[in-house]
Amino acid sequence: GHCSWSRLCVIQTMAYLGCVWQMWISSDSLTFTIWHGVSVALRCMMAFVIGNVPLTVILNAVHGVGVSVRVFSSPHPEELETFMALELASGLGVVAVSALVDSMYRREMRATVEASLASESEHTAKELLSLVCDAVVALDDRLRIKHRSPALEALLFMNTAHGLCGVDFGELVCDGDRFEAFMADPGRVQCLHVTLRDASGHAVGAQLFRSRLLGLGGQISHLLGIREDEDTVHSRQLPANLLGENVLFDTWPPSVLEHRTSCGSETSFSSVFSESAEHAFIVDAASPRLVMLSCTSSFTSLIGPVHNGDMLDWVAGHDTRSLLGMITGASLGAAPGATQMTFKLPHGQHSGQLRAICEASLVNEDSEDGRVRVKVILTDVQVGRRRRSRASDQGNGRGQIRRQSL
């Protein structure tokens, strides 16, 4: 801090003055020469540790004047020329070391500030894009995806070992030339309508929002927000290679879920499902409210993107105890048992409910994170919708909510 820096400057000043004083009280040439050598070593060490070029120049000038006056007033003034040459050489060396160290400190400080500003800028831009986009990806200067994006993989129905990390984003866009021209424009944040291709080859209309970031050394990177067009939200189904497999998608960032839920927007996946696909999810039985860890692609297509959601928040009140008992029993190794339960769909309270036969079983895998993974499979799934109707409530005329039979 500023206090520590001031203390170091005071210590440096006192060390210089102490050396000059010791040379002034030296009674013979040998003692004077020894203290002069100590002074040179101490000044170099101070310059290396503290830097501070202006103070170092002033103190070395005062030190040189003090040494010159002491030698000139000694019984051997003929040695003045020799000591002046030594003092000049050592003073220039100390100042050079101080300037070098000061330059290094300034470069390091500038790099730290730039890194902090770049990180804060990227975080802010990512938060803003997450409010309006289905997925946000970071691209490097060659427009390659820097980090894995579960949201983008779910949007395009792609699930590979390494995700889309390292893939040129232009390969996912039908019109790559327009995309490259859009990304090359150094202007302000813009929006571009493009067509993407999902894993099954279907066209996915989307809007792209870009934020251009400047990192260390002028390195350019991009944050790209992808928002699926409304007219294609419900026009796609899971590709055939995923319908018959129990593919697990990582869950989506919570900011995306919160925004999509609060705004009442539709899910990105079609709620049409195949009987051959397994609707299943895995929860942590050790968590108080049964945190979801992962789910199959078919389950994601049914309820929409989720991230570490608490399953107890999705269960109708009268089924909460049943779900807890079923999960607890499975975590203790009990034989799987089927139970009918009613779930509240997480994407909007007015979208309806889901009723299914649930069966839980313990996932046999070594866990080093303390989580107890229990898999829940849903069968005989039925989805009910809600609609408003007018009904006479013994003459009070209030509107009531009537739910269609499941």
More confident of the two residues 132 and 368:
132
Average pLDDT over the chain, rounded to whole? Answer: 73
Mean pLDDT of 185-202: 76
More confident of the two residues 272 and 69:
69
pLDDT for residue 246 is more than 70: no
More confident of the two residues 117 and 350:
117
- Token couple for 370: 């303390």
Q: How confident is the model at residue 267 (pLDDT cuts 50, 70, 90)?
A: very low
What pLDDT does 336 receive?
76
Mean pLDDT of 180-196: 78
Q: How confident is the model at residue 346 (pLDDT cuts 50, 70, 90)?
A: low
Residue-wise pLDDT tens digits, 363-403: 876 667 778 889 999 988 887 654 443 333 433 433 333 33
Mean pLDDT of 198-227: 80
pLDDT for residue 69 is more than 50: yes
Contacts of 188 (CB under 8 A, 6+ apart): none
The answer to whether residues 223 and 126 touch, using CB atoms and an 8 Å cutoff, is yes
Min mean pLDDT across 35-44, 101-110, 394-403 is at 394-403
Q: What is the pTM of this model?
A: 0.42
Mean pLDDT of 342-348: 64
Q: Which among 391, 349, 392 has a CA at the least distance from the CA of 402?
A: 391
Min mean pLDDT across 16-30, 45-59, 217-231, 302-316 is at 302-316
Residue-wise pLDDT tens digits, 300-319: 766 655 555 678 777 877 78
Q: How confident is the model at residue 129 (pLDDT cuts 50, 70, 90)?
A: confident
